[in-house]
Amino acid sequence: MKPTLLILAAGMGSRYGGLKQIDGIGPNEEPIIEYSIYDAINSGFGKIVFVIRKEFNEAFRSRFDQFSDRIQIEYVYQEVNVKVEGIDIVERTKPWGTSHAVLVAKDVINEPFAVINADDYYGAGSFKLIADFLKNECTPNLMSMVGYTLHNTLSEHGTVNRGVCSVDESNNLIEVIERVKIAVQDGKVQYNIGADDPCGELDANASVSMNYWGFHPSIFKEIEEGLHAFMKENANNPTAEYYIPNIVTDIIVSGKMKVRVIPTNDNWFGVTYKEDKPMAVAAINKHITAGVYPEKLWS
Residue 19, pLDDT score: 60
* Whether the predicted pLDDT of 128 surpasses 60: yes
Residues in the chain: 299
Residue 84, pLDDT score: 76
* Whether the predicted pLDDT of 76 surpasses 90: yes
Domain regions of the chain by residue span? 4-142+208-240+265-289
What's the mean per-residue pLDDT of the chain?
90
- Residue 160 φ then ψ, to 5°: -135, 165
- Kindly indicate the confidence band of residue 17, based on its pLDDT and cuts at 50, 70 and 90: very low
Average pLDDT of the segment spanning 42-59: 93
- With vertex at residue 66, the alpha carbon angle to CA 80 and CA 119, rounded to the nearest 5 degrees, is 45
Residues 188/191/195/198 CA torsion (nearest 10 deg) = -80
Q: Residue 170 in contact with residue 299, Cβ under 8 Å?
A: no
Within the chain, what is the greatest distance between any pair of CA atoms?
A: 57
Average pLDDT of the segment spanning 33-60: 94
* Whether the predicted pLDDT of 13 surpasses 60: no
Nearest alpha carbon to residue 145 among 177, 176, 120, 185: 176
User: Long-range contacts for 229-238 (Cβ within 8 Å, ≥24 apart)?
Assistant: 230/96, 231/84, 231/87, 231/89, 231/96, 232/87, 235/87, 235/88, 235/89, 235/90, 236/90, 237/90, 238/90, 238/91, 238/92, 238/93
- Kindly indicate the confidence band of residue 18, based on its pLDDT and cuts at 50, 70 and 90: low
More confident call, 275 vs 4: 4
Q: Please give the span between the terminal C-alpha atoms of the chain, in angstroms, as a whole number.
A: 28
- Kindly indicate the confidence band of residue 80, based on its pLDDT and cuts at 50, 70 and 90: confident
Average pLDDT of the segment spanning 81-104: 86
* Whether the predicted pLDDT of 75 surpasses 60: yes
Q: What is the tens place of the pLDDT at every residue in 19-43?
A: 657 778 899 999 999 999 999 999 9
Q: What is the tens place of the pLDDT at every residue in 194-245?
A: 888 889 999 999 999 999 999 999 999 999 999 999 989 998 998 889 999 8
Rounded Cα gap, residues 66 and 131, in angstroms: 23
* Whether the predicted pLDDT of 127 surpasses 60: yes
Domain 4-142+208-240+265-289: CATH class, spelled out: alpha beta
126 class by beta-carbon count within 10 Å (0-12 exposed, 13-18 middle, 19+ buried): buried
Question: Among the listed ranges 136-140, 233-237, 259-263, 293-297, which one has the minimum average pLDDT value?
Answer: 233-237
Residue 89, pLDDT score: 85
